[in-house]
Chain A
Amino acid sequence: MNGAPRSRELGARLGAAFLALVGLAALAAPWLTAHAPTTQLDPVALAWQPPSAAHWLGTDSYSRDVWSRLLFGARATMGIALLAVTVSLTLGTLVGALAALAPRWIDTLLMRATDALLAIPRLLLLLLVVAGAGTLEVAPLALLLGATGWMTTARVVRQESSRLLATPHLEGARALGVPSGRLLTRHLLPSLLPTLAVAATAAFAAAVPLESGLSYLGLGVRTPLPSWGNLLADAESQPLAHWWVIVFPTLAIAGTVLAANALASALERRWRR
């Protein structure tokens, strides 16, 4: 029992550090690479180059530098995930807190609707909208991911809010006649912050693979604009011969999700009760 909490703390720190590193790399992308992510350096001589000193992570079928595509891809992937999390967290908190504060019939209505939406496979919903719209720009894609991901947050917030509303502090505030709006912003939301932090980290860990999965299917971020998902699709025809085009984005995606998951579980442990 002795070693576990400390190593978990370490895992959370490593996770946070990794996320910060990826974020910084995304921001500083132009200064970290000599090549633009969309430049086809020499489609005849430099296509499918394995990793070397000149091209750290090799080049892809169009002779584009994989390292720069990975760096700039982090911008798309992380940006979309962050925006999606913001949207889903806002929507989920609103619905969840409203359900907990509102009269019982509104609560039932909201929660049944949430359950029904949860019954639709998320990827299918995204597939319908994205394929329908043809191509989606980056911002609408992020909004869409957020709009289809708020349900779990709503359930968690609803549960936690009802628990909090029964605590002496909030019961007292209610009994003193604090209006619902003020009760929500001044009393409920601050107490919800730990729950929201966990929900946000978990939502981030879900949004990254979802975006890259969509982009991998050719329905998310469109080439030539790089994202971690559509990098993978480039090497699909011969994955083995061009392993570097698949392995490095895979490591980036899995590492980011792992970091976010480790952080979420550490936050949850720290703030439970």
Chain B
Amino acid sequence: MGAALLRRLAQGALVVLFVVATCFTLIRLAPGDPFFRALDEGSVPAEVRSAQLARFGYDRPIPEQFVRYVGNVVRGDFGWSHSRGQPVGAAIAAALPATLLLVGTAGLLAFVGGVSVGAWTGWHADRSLSRGLDRLAMLLLSIPDYLLALLAVMGPALAWGLFPVGGARTEFGPTGLLGVVDRLHHLALPVLALALPIAAVVMRLQHAAMREVREAAFIRTARANGVRETRIRWRHALRNALVPVLSYGGVQFAAALSGVVVIERIFAWPGMGRLLYEGVLSRDYPLIAGGVLVGAIGTVLGTMCADLALRWADPRQRGA
């Protein structure tokens, strides 16, 4: 177990390095540089421009820049964000909690909701309610998250005025308990837009798996042995039916992070997605590298958690 975990960690570190190196190279190969807005004017002397590029090391070969960057990160220095005029570490520290809150809540809701609804509909697959729910899930997973977000902004937020249109909290708003309520109020729509399509996929997977497990021989055996029905359903059937859902969850983590970029833009959510989007548009090399680093670590950790859960649910995976 310990050796396997260490090997997974090493693999994960390699993946993070690979991802950051890819993005690091891609953005430097792209036309433009962090100063293209400020220093591309014809009136800026060429010496000033090249001096500024040299000051931050952007005139060096890309591999050298990358090695220097990794060295700096290891020492805890993420560089200077040109577009924000603050250290990248500070920008990330300000944006990360908002995104963790958004993604964490959405992920939890999607998995808990998807698994429990899917388990129920799969177990009672013959009822018309469960067929209807399955069809509803099909519809939900077909609406891209940004369209759900747009519709949410149009309906509940703008037309009915039930929810705030954007932001993570009311500026100069209430504090204390009311402040928490205010934050939850802001959180509701972006979380729903992000969670519903994922929940729908999880639900359908869980539905199919539960339906298959229901007919399995070991369920019949357990029932013949007089195991209580609730125990059969929650311990025997659900645990086995979780396997495909968990292996999906690991793969899907990166895809869910893609959704964050658009959702955060639509709801003006002050998180990592917006940070990255703005960073890419302004070619803020250090900001992009820092954001990608955090995103890659998040993805790898998410995948590893899914793997660990998979080993718990399916002992056959432990040998691998």
CB pair A213–B142 under 8 Å, yes or no, is no
State the main secondary structure of chain B at its contact with A: helix
Which residues 216-268 in B have Cβ within 8 Å of A in the complex? 251, 254-255, 257-259, 261-262, 265
Interface residues on chain A, number (Cβ under 8 Å): 40
Give the contacting residue for A116; candidates B15, B131, B143; CB below 8 A.
Answer: B15
Give the contacting residue for A121; candidates B139, B150, B257; CB below 8 A.
Answer: B257
Chain A residue numbers with a CB within 8 Å of B126 are 1
Chain B residue numbers with a CB within 8 Å of A128 are 23, 26-27, 30, 280, 288
Chain A residue numbers with a CB within 8 Å of B276 are 124, 127
Chain B residue numbers with a CB within 8 Å of A112 are 11
CB pair A240–B27 under 8 Å, yes or no, is no
**Which of B89-97, B106-114, B294-302 makes up part of the contact surface?**
B294-302
**Which of A42-50, A68-76, A250-258 makes up part of the contact surface?**
A250-258
CA distance A213 to B144 in the complex (A): 8
CB pair A232–B258 under 8 Å, yes or no, is no
CB pair A119–B258 under 8 Å, yes or no, is no
Q: Which residue of B lies closest to A113 (CB)?
A: B18
CB pair A132–B27 under 8 Å, yes or no, is yes
CA distance A209 to B126 in the complex (A): 33
| A102 contacts chain B at the CB level, 8 A cutoff | no
| Contact A124 to B292, CB < 8 A, known contacts A119-B254, A240-B159 | yes
Chain B residue numbers with a CB within 8 Å of A129 are 26, 30
Please, could you name 23 A-B residue pairs with CB atoms under 8 Å apart, sorted by A? A118-B251, A119-B15, A120-B19, A120-B296, A123-B258, A124-B23, A127-B276, A127-B277, A128-B23, A128-B27, A131-B30, A132-B283, A209-B144, A213-B262, A239-B153, A243-B154, A246-B150, A246-B154, A250-B151, A253-B147, A257-B143, A261-B138, A261-B141
Which B residues form the contact surface with A (CB < 8 A)?
11, 14-15, 18-19, 22-23, 26-27, 29-32, 125-126, 131, 138-139, 141-144, 146-147, 150-151, 153-154, 158-159, 251, 254-255, 257-259, 261-262, 265, 276-277, 280-281, 283, 288, 292, 295-296, 299-300, 303
